[in-house]
Amino acid sequence: MKKIKLPSNVEYIIHQLERAGYEAYAVGGCVRDSLLGRVPGDWDITTSARPEQVKAVFRRTIDTGIQHGTVTVLMPAEQADSSVAGEASGIQGDARRAASQGVHTGTAHAGRSAEHPGARSMPVWEGYEVTTYRIDGAYLDGRHPSAVQFTPSLHEDLARRDFTINAMAVNDRSGIVDDFGGLEDLGRRVVRAVGEPEQRFQEDALRMLRALRFSAQLGFDIDPATWEAVRKLAPNLEHVSKERIAVELTKLLMSDHPEHIALVSTSGLSEYISEHFADAFHDAIDVPDDYPVYPWMPSDLPAERYLRWGVFLRGVPDRARGILRELKIDNDTIAKAGTVAQLFQEPLPDSRYKIRKKLSEVGYETYENYLRAVTCLLLAARDAEWMRPYLDAACPKQETVIMPCCQTATKPDSACSAPEKHKDPTAELLDCIRRVQFEVAAIRVAGDCIELKNLEISGQDLMAIGIPRGPEIGRILHALLDQVLQDPSQNHRERLTELARGMML
């Protein structure tokens, strides 16, 4: 059995609780991730000590969720810099003693003050959630237990958890405690509910979406009985807040297997996420009815939150922003994802002017990521014959959208030269995208003006030549920007002033 190396702060907390006569273990996702060779995002600790007893052991604490048995213990931040590891060890030892004795040492984190190079810096603390073994009461709202009952049994605490791979605990004294087959399921690469799946999902409907999210993050299958329970109880997802649903969906899309988003449809969950969420599946492509899923969201898509949402919603560009608002996603992601979804419906620009114009509208980052996304989708479609039906969803229609940039160049400002003839239309489309990518890079390197703020003339300058304050200023500035987008060499104050005089009404 693989031995897990606990972080020193976690070891210390467990040791202090054991010294006080209690049991304590690292538990949950940190155990799972350690066994998989992944770096845990955080370390949670479970203990037989009640909250007031934990607070008696560690005087530097926060009542995070004391009604549910959770206390956050503050510890000195771990020091990763090996060059100061020895000093850090001594400093952290002092701070740990302070954490348990309620003494402020002022030396919790190794380092030097910028103002006083010879002095140690003030402490930097990090929190560890310590939760009492508990049994959850009835879940009357399908999300939260109406009450919790503390228990002296680690087994009973593990039994209330969602999936076997999350229901393992570990400490140096006992090793790994695995009462529900989590180790076996890790080996089988399966997400399986603890105990009866229907009971777990009736307790907390969000667990159904979490099952899909874990399968995407870990690349695991879903246990058949667990999968059937998800499909049966999908309507219960209506009880869960949109914000919590959005968190799970975003984690799924940002995972190494974003194609698992298709499971949200095949499971039936999509119908209960929001009023129009299912449209992203029904109006875009035919999602296969069987499980496992097919990769119509390639894993090599750039890992940008807005981009992956935009790619997912590319089949419903007119509803993309509305769907994201229903999920109460932040405004920045709504704006950028909506832009990406809309770009899939537009032709690729066939001249440098049109490329500059598009860059002016959406910005370099968004447009470059969009081009990368189209490339990923085309390659995914080309590399798997069964993906051919999904090509239309991967990018807009060839003849109306992609091909214009591949026509023979007839103007000096044309973005694309005549392409080589390909028997494979996907290769031709990829050539078009590469040409646009090259032009975008060239525009960036040249420093061409693509924004009003980079025009060599301002509203004050326009008022100085007699243009009245008001909408006319904006109209002329945008007209001047368009002239510069067509010919960047005109971005000189004298030339822009001359053009502005000609635009005066």
Q: What is the pLDDT of residues 280-311, one digit of tens each?
A: 887 655 444 433 344 478 889 999 999 999 99
In terms of pLDDT, which residue wins out, 307 or 145? 307
Section 244-257 average pLDDT: 97
Cα separation, 201 vs 227, whole angstroms = 11
The interaxial angle of helices 425-446 and 352-362, nearest 10 deg, is 70
* pLDDT band per the 50, 70, 90 thresholds, residue 383: low
Q: Is the dihedral of CA 164, 294, 315, 396 positive or negative?
A: positive
Section 274-280 average pLDDT: 93
Phi/psi class of residue 466: alpha, beta or left (left: φ > 0; alpha: ψ in -120 to 50)?
left
Section 323-337 average pLDDT: 97
pTM greater than 0.95: no
* pLDDT band per the 50, 70, 90 thresholds, residue 390: very low
Give me the pLDDT at residue 415, please: 52
Backbone angles phi, psi at 483, to 5 degrees: -60, -40
Paired with 169 in beta bridges are 27, 177
Average pLDDT, the chain: 83
For residue 315, the one-letter residue type is: G
Cα separation, 307 vs 23, whole angstroms = 46
Give me the pLDDT at residue 88, please: 38
Phi/psi class of residue 6: alpha, beta or left (left: φ > 0; alpha: ψ in -120 to 50)?
beta
Q: Which residue has the tokens 């006083």?
A: 116
pLDDT in tens, 215-230: 999 999 999 999 999 9
Task: Please tell me whether residue 46 adopts helix, strand or coil conformation.
Answer: strand
Over 70: is that where the pLDDT of 45 sits? yes
Is the Cβ–Cβ distance between 24 and 46 less than 8 Å?
yes
* pLDDT band per the 50, 70, 90 thresholds, residue 413: low
Is the Cβ–Cβ distance between 270 and 278 less than 8 Å?
yes
Q: Which of 3-7, 145-149, 256-260, 431-435 has the lowest mean pLDDT?
A: 145-149
Cβ neighbours of residue 35 under 8 Å, at least 6 residues apart?
A: 2, 4, 168, 176, 183, 186
Three-state helix/strand/coil letters over 110-155: CCECCCCCCCECCCCEEEEEEEECEEECCCCCCCCCCCEEECCCHH
